[in-house]
Amino acid sequence: MEGYRIRGLQVGDGAALAAAYRRNRAHLAPWDPSRQESFYTDEVQEREVERNVALAEEGRSYTYPFWRGDQVVGRIVLSNVVRGPLQSGTIGYWVDREHQGRGLARAGVEHVVVAATAMGLHRLEAGTMLDNAASQAVLRRCGFREYGTAERILFIRGEWRDHLLFQRVLHDDPPGNPGR
């Protein structure tokens, strides 16, 4: 990952994210829900950044953009963080079409595995559309195991789509031991 870095989302990152989404609009279309035109504006992305930074402060969701210089070239999100007896979170990621094949997705997943383990989470989950073999390969290389199919779970490209579900158990310590 030479020349790239991953860091937590910060207020002020909206314009760089908007530019990345505009550059990758067609590339992400097969995997993303339909977006309003305003989604691709700097202003809307900065509001999303502010919302996501607040969610991180609440311990509910964490966004980590991938950077090359001052350009966002992807991102990974740890969301749906649930505490109590579950101690789980969900990951989702994408990589800029011009930066694929350089290990960014794998590095992002590994980054979140380390962060989630430090937070004391027990388990991570991810889902991929059935035909997303590249993402499935990333998850498998990062120690995730397929455990089922969620039928018609997300509305993508005008219809409800099935997803393969993957999980990785991070440790077997009881809840409340985040200092692993």
**Do residues 8 and 56 lie in contact, with contact meaning Cβ atoms separated by under 8 Å?**
yes
Supply the pTM of this predicted model: 0.94
**Do residues 91 and 117 lie in contact, with contact meaning Cβ atoms separated by under 8 Å?**
no
The answer to whether residue 105 sits within a structural domain is: yes
Tokens, residue 38: 């305003």
Alpha helices in 14-132 (DSSP H): 14-23, 25-28, 42-57, 104-118
The answer to whether residue 95 sits within a structural domain is: yes
Coil, helix or strand for 28?
Answer: helix
Extended strands (E) in the chain: 5-6, 62-68, 71-82, 88-95, 123-129, 145-156, 159-169
Number of residues that make up the chain? 180
Rounded average pLDDT over 172-176: 88
**Do residues 95 and 104 lie in contact, with contact meaning Cβ atoms separated by under 8 Å?**
yes
The answer to whether residue 82 sits within a structural domain is: yes
Give the pLDDT band (50/70/90) at residue 26: very high
Each residue's pLDDT tens digit, 67-118: 999 999 999 999 999 999 999 999 999 999 999 999 999 999 999 999 999 9
Residue 109 to residue 70: CA distance in whole angstroms: 21
The answer to whether residue 177 sits within a structural domain is: no
The answer to whether residue 180 sits within a structural domain is: no
The answer to whether residue 175 sits within a structural domain is: no
- DSSP label at residue 34: P
Residue 102 to residue 1: CA distance in whole angstroms: 7
What's the domain count of the chain?
A: 1
The answer to whether residue 176 sits within a structural domain is: no
Domain residue limits at 95: 5-169
The answer to whether residue 174 sits within a structural domain is: no
CATH of the domain at 36: 3.40.630.30
Q: Is the pLDDT of residue 176 over 90?
A: no
* CB-based contacts of 150-153 (< 8 A; 24+ apart in sequence): 153/127
Give the pLDDT band (50/70/90) at residue 180: very low
